[in-house]
């Protein structure tokens, strides 16, 4: 296990301090992206259950004292919070560098000067496609023009801009144009993350899964564009797990450097942890972040390697401290066993089933792909 800070004497010995707090301020969102990693259980979410301003402010203060350096203000859509400016100030006062992760809707352009003055450091805007109609279709809402307008305003105000694009069958062939668009907007960083199949993305897997040819070509284009733009644009490219045979270290390892707070204040070690049965989800309304991070069973559950089964326990590649056995939520979803080796690993006894599933999905012809099930919190729309 890596260590990023001195340990607390007598408490949490061996556990690194967290670096990142992901504050999911609201699950409600004006967009309805079918690849959303939010849990499908958000259907029917009520905004009245969201944490109040005072709670977030207190928790940001606790995070700052824990040594957290980065604050991601996200959702759903964080702009739906009327108190976002206050929360930016609370993040700044706690000594954290804050990033707003947003669709730019409903009103980022108008709010940007106020958010910047309140302490916001960095803006990350999602784009679904370089073509307006396609972007709006994938996001399930008219949004493209507002996104570009907001992105330009971010740069005009001298703030660092990141563009993020979740890639899938309907936009992987557009990667070159997406990179040119991000560069023309003045983004410093572009995150091209192939869809990871969590939450709503799982429901839409047959519609979203790209072909291997698309992924291979996309990677070639990324490499060519990296050479073209050099250091002026930092391009991150994340391969989809389903085409790999060794897993990624999900979240950098369970509870190794990040805390996710859902809109109601439940503290989670990863974005899908709320779906894991038998895992207690402690709320910051009842427990301090310090106690949750160091002492809770949930955050300690998959730290270290004692919990691992074979082949991870005796990994012939000695990757236990590199990938930590892969993603716990994926292992649970695909094998029914939360402690199993992630089936992405070619050493997993379940890897063959994953490959068979991939082949089955790849055999679906374009014209037979199912329609998107758009992400929503509204039972009427779902």
Bridge partners (DSSP) of residue 72 are 22, 99
x/- mask, ligand FES, residues 346-375, rule CB under 6 A, reads ------------------------------
Interface residues for ligand SF4 in 192-251 (CB under 6 A)? 246-247
Q: Is 66 in a helix, a strand, or coil?
A: helix
Q: Which of 193, 239, 347, 364 binds ligand SF4 (CB under 6 A)?
A: 347
Closest separation in Å from C-beta 1 to ligand SF4: 14
- Note whether 169 binds ligand SF4 by CB under 6 A: no
- Note whether 288 binds ligand SF4 by CB under 6 A: no
- Note whether 327 binds ligand FES by CB under 6 A: yes
Phi-psi map region of 326: left, alpha, beta (phi>0 left; psi -120 to 50 alpha): left
Taking residue 243's Cβ as centre, other Cβ atoms within 10 Å add up to 16
- Note whether 329 binds ligand FES by CB under 6 A: yes
b/e per residue 64-79 (b: at least 16 CB within 10 A): bebebbbbbbbbbbbb
Indicate which of ligand FES, ligand SF4, none lies near residue 271 (CB less than 5 to 8 Å, by partner kind).
ligand FES
Closer Cβ to ligand SF4, 182 or 315, answer by number: 315
Q: Which of 326, 327, 331, 340 binds ligand SF4 (CB under 6 A)?
A: 326
Indicate which of ligand FES, ligand SF4, none lies near residue 57 (CB less than 5 to 8 Å, by partner kind).
none
Contacts 24+ apart (CB under 8 A), 183-186: 183/229, 183/232, 183/233, 185/148, 185/151, 185/152, 185/155, 185/161, 186/151, 186/152, 186/155, 186/161
CB-based contact 355:346 (threshold 8 Å) = no
- Note whether 344 binds ligand FES by CB under 6 A: no
Interface residues for ligand FES in 273-302 (CB under 6 A)? 273
Cite the beta strand spans of the chain per DSSP E.
Answer: 20-26, 70-75, 97-102, 122-126, 161-167, 189-194, 234-238, 258-261, 267-268
- Note whether 198 binds ligand FES by CB under 6 A: yes
Q: Which stretch binds ligand SF4 (CB under 6 A): 4-12, 77-85, 321-329, 331-339?
A: 321-329
CA angle 51, 55, 56 (to 5 degrees): 80
Q: Which of 26, 103, 271, 296 binds ligand FES (CB under 6 A)?
A: 271
Bridge partners (DSSP) of residue 165 are 192
Indicate which of ligand FES, ligand SF4, none lies near residue 325 (CB less than 5 to 8 Å, by partner kind).
ligand SF4
Closer Cβ to ligand SF4, 157 or 347, answer by number: 347
Order of all β-strands in the sheet with 161-167: 234-238, 189-194, 161-167, 122-126, 97-102, 70-75, 20-26, 258-261, 267-268
Residues lying near ligand FES in the complex (CB under 6 A): 198, 250-251, 270-273, 327-329
Footprint of ligand SF4 (CB under 6 A):
246-247, 311-312, 315, 317, 319-320, 323, 325-326, 341-342, 345, 347
């Amino acid at each position: 296990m890596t260590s990023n800070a001195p340990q607390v004497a007598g408490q949490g010995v061996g556990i690194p301090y967290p670096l990142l707090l992901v504050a999911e301020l609201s699950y409600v969102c004006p967009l309805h992206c079918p690849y959303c990693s939010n849990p499908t259980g958000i259907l029917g979410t009520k905004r009245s259950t969201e944490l109040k301003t005072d709670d977030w402010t207190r928790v940001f203060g606790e995070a700052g004292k824990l040594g957290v350096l980065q604050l991601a203000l996200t959702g759903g859509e964080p702009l739906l919070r009327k108190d976002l400016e206050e929360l930016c100030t609370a993040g700044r006062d706690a000594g954290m560098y804050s990033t707003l992760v947003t669709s730019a809707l409903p009103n980022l352009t108008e709010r940007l000067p106020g958010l910047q003055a309140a302490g916001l450091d960095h803006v990350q805007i999602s784009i679904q496609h370089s073509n307006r109609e396609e972007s709006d279709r994938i996001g399930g809402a008219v949004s493209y023009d507002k996104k570009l307008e907001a992105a330009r305003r971010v740069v005009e105000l001298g703030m660092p801009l990141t563009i993020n694009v979740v890639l899938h069958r309907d936009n992987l062939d557009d990667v070159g144009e997406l990179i040119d668009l991000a560069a023309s907007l003045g983004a410093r960083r572009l995150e091209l993350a192939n869809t990871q199949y969590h939450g709503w993305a799982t429901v839409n897997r047959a519609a979203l899964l790209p072909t291997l040819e698309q992924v291979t070509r996309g990677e070639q284009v990324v490499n060519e564009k990296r050479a073209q733009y050099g250091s002026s644009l930092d391009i991150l490219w994340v391969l989809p797990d389903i085409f790999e045979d060794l897993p990624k270290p999900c979240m950098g390892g369970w509870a190794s450097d990040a805390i996710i707070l859902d809109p109601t204040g439940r503290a989670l070690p990863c974005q899908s942890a709320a779906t894991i049965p038998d895992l207690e989800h402690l709320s910051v309304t009842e427990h301090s972040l310090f106690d949750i991070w160091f002492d809770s069973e949930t955050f300690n559950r998959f730290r270290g390697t004692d919990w691992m089964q074979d082949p991870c326990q005796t990994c012939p590649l000695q990757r236990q401290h590199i990938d930590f056995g892969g993603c716990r939520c994926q292992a649970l979803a695909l094998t029914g066993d939360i402690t199993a080796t992630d089936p992405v690993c070619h050493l997993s006894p379940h890897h063959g089933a994953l490959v068979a599933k991939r082949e089955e999905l790849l055999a679906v012809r374009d014209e037979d792909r199912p329609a998107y099930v758009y992400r929503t919190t509204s039972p009427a729309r779902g």
